[in-house]
Each structure stands twice: as C-alpha cells, then as structure tokens.
Structure 1
Amino acid sequence: MTAALFLNGTVGSGKSATADAAGDLLAERGIPHAVIDLDALRRVWPAPAGDPFQTALELANLRDYAANATAAGASVLVLAGVIEEPSALPRYEDAVGGPVTLVRLRAEAGEVERRLRARHADDPEGLRWHLDRRGELEAVLDAAGLPGPTVPTGHRTPREVAEEALRAWDAV
C-alpha cells in the first residue's frame, strides 16, 4: 500500500517548493517516492462544464499517475494541492490507493503576496486573481475543519518546512 503526504494550502503558501524539498529528503533517506504537483494534473483549458477547478480531471489523472508511480517502486507519494473539505479526502485516498495525511502549509498574507508578486510579475491579471483567491481559499480552509497539523512556512526555507511536515506526518 502506498502512503501519501498531501501538502495543502492556499496559493503561494509554498506547497510546490515544499513538496520538491520533501522529495529530496526522502531520496536522502533512501525512501522510494514520487512528488506530484496536482496543478499540473488538472491544467486544461477551458475547464470542463460543472468542474471549474478541474477536480474530477485531477483525480482521474492522479489515479493513473499513482498507479504508475507505485508500479515503478514508489512507496510514498508527496502531493501538493488543495483539498477544501473533509468529504474530498476519501476520493484522494481512493485515487492513490492508500491513506492520505493532510499537512496544511500556512504563510502570512504579506509573505504570500510577496511570493505571488514575484511569480506573476509579468501577469497583472493572474496576480489579481491569485491574490483574491488566496483570501477566499484561506477562509474556506479555516472553516473546513480538515484533519492534520499546520506547518508555518513564513520566511523559512522549503527544506525546513519539508522537514517539519515530514516529522508531523510521522509515516516515514
């Protein structure tokens, strides 16, 4: 059975960078793994009708990717994405074929804004959308009552955050 660490959080919270760093740490420990940025698995335009955030597509692609990664020897999956409600967790567990542990990454609004401004320096429309989405998503995640620990990202390196997330996960 494959175990999965799901790094959950708003846009700009450090999910992708932390997932990459967690992959490096797992490799250093000799633990077979795959790092999966869920944004890449759902990137399609236009969004399917009735699925504005392409969640159904993400889950279908995750199912195939997880099966292929497991067949290739991965015993751990590190997922970077967003789960907004507890009822979604079983769908991700089904897709990866094992338990999923959520670890929420959280950064101060000012730090997220700094990161998003750097990321979208040449995309003012994208910057506006992501800044608005950050506040909206932060409120959704706060209200959701999702299980799992919260790890602050703040002004820490992705490796420091990944070390804490892996300790909080306690599955490896």
Structure 2
Amino acid sequence: MDVANSTRVIFIGGRSGVGKTTVAAVASRLLAERNVRHAVIEGDNLDHAHPEPWRAGIHLAEQNLAAIWRNYRRAGYDRLLFTNTVSVAQVDGLSRALGGDVEAKAVLLTADDATVGDRLRRREFGPAVEEHLSRSRRAADELDALDIAIRIATDGRTPTDIARQLLAAAEWLDG
C-alpha cells in the first residue's frame, strides 16, 4: 500500500435510527483522545437535494466525496469515518471516490424495530415519524441480506461501548 496516498476508512451503515451519527461522533471523540488524525463525513449530506440526484443516475455523493476528501488529504488526513445508511453496500464505488490506496472496513449497525421506533419517535415529529419508520424497516430488510462481516447490534448499549467495538473491529485502536 502506498502510505503517502493511502486512506483508511470505516463505512458505517445501517437503517435510520440505528445510531450511525451518534456512534461516529463518539468514535471520533475516542480517536481524538488518542490523538489519531481523522475526519468524519456524514454521507447523507453529500447528495441531499430535490429531486434526488441518485434517482436520475447522477452519482453526486461520490463526486462530492471525492472533492471533499481531496481537501482533507491535502490537509494531512488519512483516516475517515463515513456514515450513510447504504454505504456498506457501496464500498467499492465510495472507495474509488476516495482515490489512491484504500483500506476499507464496512460496519453494519443493527437494532430491532422497537429500539429504532423509540429512537425515531424521539427524533422525528408529526407524519414524518411513520414515513421514517417505514423507510427504516425497508432499509433493514435490504441491509440484512448483505454479506457484511462486521455487524454490531446497538440495542440496549451505550454509544461509547458501540464505538469502542466498532474501532476495535476495524483495527483502529492499535498502537
């Protein structure tokens, strides 16, 4: 691997309400405590537009990730925590967007319907709750069918416990 142009990335995926953003924030804090240079990118924001660009076959998320990551690389960053519901199903394309040599780990966070329902009801309001619950259930079915080696259940666990397991599973707590 070309160390000067290499990237280590953890793609954190999972249904809505599973804890991706929270776990990434805590993992970032844990890495900062160890003085590990890294960046966090919330993938949902890379193509949040109407109409949805991906529905028209426009790969705006990958294009924006490539542009943003170039800036991080120029600033000396070589590790990335990337969150997005389906990122674990798009590892190849997202890794290509990062450029250079990429060591990617896909981590699927899971939670049961009751846990997700509780979390989404605290986060969403009005008719959006049912829409999010329905979309989350569909995403869970699709993600559960994927062959992903690292799966971490978030039910009844603290974000710190989950983040530690995520970083250990990705072998980022070495040294």
User: Would you call these one fold, judging by a TM-score over 0.5?
Assistant: yes
TM-score, L = length of structure 1 = 0.89
Within 5 A, what are the aligned runs for 1:1-172?
1-48=6-53, 51-52=54-55, 56-83=59-86, 86=89, 88-97=90-99, 98-121=102-125, 124-145=126-147, 147-172=148-173
Cα distance in 2, alignment partners of residues 32 and 104 from structure 1: 23
Root-mean-square deviation (Å): 1.9
| Structure 1, 19-28 or 155-164: larger mean CA deviation | 155-164
* 2:21 and 2:42 in contact (8 A); partners too: yes
In structure 2, distance between residues paired with 1:90 and 1:73: 23
Q: Deviations over 1:6-43 (max 9, x none)?
A: 11100111000011111111111111100111111121
Q: 1:54 to 1:21 in 2, by over 3 A?
A: farther
Paired residues, what number?
A: 166
- For 1:56, the aligned partner's letter is H
- Change over 3 Å in CA distance of 1:55–1:84 after alignment to 2: farther
Post-superposition CA distance 1:69-108 (Å, at most 9, x none): 121121210011123775x321111112312210110112
TM-superposed CA distance for 1:111, in Å, is: 0.8
Identity of aligned residues (%): 31
Distance 1:29 1:85 in 2: 26
TM-score norm. by structure 2 comes to 0.87
- 1:11·1:134 contact (CA, 8 Å) conserved in 2? yes
In 2 relative to 1, CA 110–58 (structure 1 residues): closer, same or farther, beyond 3 Å?
same
Q: Assess if the C-alpha contact under 8 Å between 1:120 and 1:127 holds in 2.
A: yes
Pick closer, same or farther for the CA change 1:144–1:120 going to 2, 3 Å: same
Q: 1:29-75 CA deviation, whole Å, 9 max, x = no partner?
A: 11110011111112112213xx2398711111111111111211212
Taking the aligned partners of 2:113 and 2:171, their CA distance within structure 1 comes to: 28
**AA in 2 matched with 1:160:** D
The answer to whether the 8 A contact 2:88-2:108 is kept is: no
In structure 2, list runs of 5 or more residues that go unmatched.
1-5
